[in-house]
Amino acid sequence: MILTVTLNAALDLTYRVPHLVPHASHRVREVTERPGGKGLNVARVLGALGFRTTVTGFVGGETGRVLRALLAANAEAEAETEGAEGPAGGGTPRVTDALVQVAGRTRRTVGVVDETTGDTTQLNEPGPHITPEEWDGFLTVYRELLGRGPAAVALCGSLPPGVPVGAYATLVREARTARIPVLLDTSGEPLRRGLAARPDIVKPNAEELAGITGTAEPLRAARAAQRRGAHAVAASLGADGMLLVAQDGAWSAAVPERLAGNPTGAGDSAVAGLLSGLAEDLPWPDRLARAVALSAATVRSPVAGEFDEATYAQLLPSVRVRKAETP
C-alpha cells in the first residue's frame, strides 16, 4: 500500500467549451467531476497502474460529501471487478478513503478546456480553514496510517488556511521516524521548510526549484536543494521532460516529441511514476523514464488524475534518459 496525503483536497470540475472567449457567455459541452488535489490525482494514477493506495487529508461540507461519494463509487467498481476477475483484475483504481472530516467546506477547482486550442484555464479556490484541534486530529490519523507500514508516503499540494507553514516538515519527520520513504511535492515556504526535514525525494518544477534556491539553472538548483536536505530531487521541466539528481548520479529524460493537450495533472502522474518505481525498487533511470512517460500520457487525457494508457505504452520504450552533465 502507498499512502498519499492531500491536505487541501478538492472537487475537480472540468468544463469543455468549443472556444473560450473572455467576457463572453459559453455553452459547456461536457462537465466532468473527479476527486481532486494533487495527492488524490497521484492515488488515481497509482491505482490505474495496479497499486493499492490509501488517501488522507481534510474533507468537509457538501463538496466534501460529493468527493467521498465519488471515491466510494470507485471502490464499489473495484470490488465488482475483483469479484469478476480476481484480486488484480481490471486496472480499476484501488483507493481507500482515510480522509479526516472538518467543519469547513472542501474547495472546488474549475478547469475550462478550450477545444479549439487545447488550452486549459484553471480556477482554484483556497480551501477550508483548519483549526488547531483539526490539525491535531489529522496528526493522530496520520501516525496511525504510518503504523500500518505503507511502502511509501507522498505529501502533495498546497496547505489550506490555518495549517502551520511547517506542516510538511512535521509530516516528513514522522515518516522518517517510522522508516517509511517519503516524497514531498509542494512549493514556496512549505517546500523550503520541508527540505530541512530531509525527505527522500522532492518533486518541484523548475520555477519552484529556482524560487527556493535562488538558482535558475535546473541542475545547479537541484544540487542546492540536495544540500538543503533532500536525498533526491526530481525537477519537472515542462515540455522538456524531467531532471533527476540522486546521491549516486544525475539524469535527464524527455519524450521524443512534444505532445499537445491538457497539462493539468501531468506533474501528479510523474509523482505516481516515481512512487511506483520506488515501491518496485527500480533503478533511478527506470523510475525517471516511467515518470516522464506517465506525465506525457497525462497531457493526452482530458481530465487530471488520468493518463492515456495507449500513449503511455507507446512512449515508455522511447523515453530518452541521459546522464546529466555538471554545469
Return the active site residues: 268
As a whole number of angstroms, the distance between CA 244 and CA 262 comes to 24
3-state secondary structure of 264: coil
**Interacting residues of 103 by C-beta distance below 8 A, sequence separation 6+:** 60, 128, 131, 134
As a whole number of angstroms, the distance between CA 177 and CA 268 comes to 25
Q: CA distances (Å), 26 to each of 14, 18, 23, 207, 262, in order?
A: 14, 8, 10, 33, 19
Interstrand relation of 52-59 and 94-97 (parallel, antiparallel or unpaired)? parallel
Bridge partners (DSSP) of residue 19 are none
The single residue listed with the C-alpha cell 538558482 is 215
Asked whether the CA dihedral 217, 169, 104, 67 is positive or negative, the reply is positive
As a whole number of angstroms, the distance between CA 176 and CA 68 comes to 29
**Interacting residues of 211 by C-beta distance below 8 A, sequence separation 6+:** 187, 188
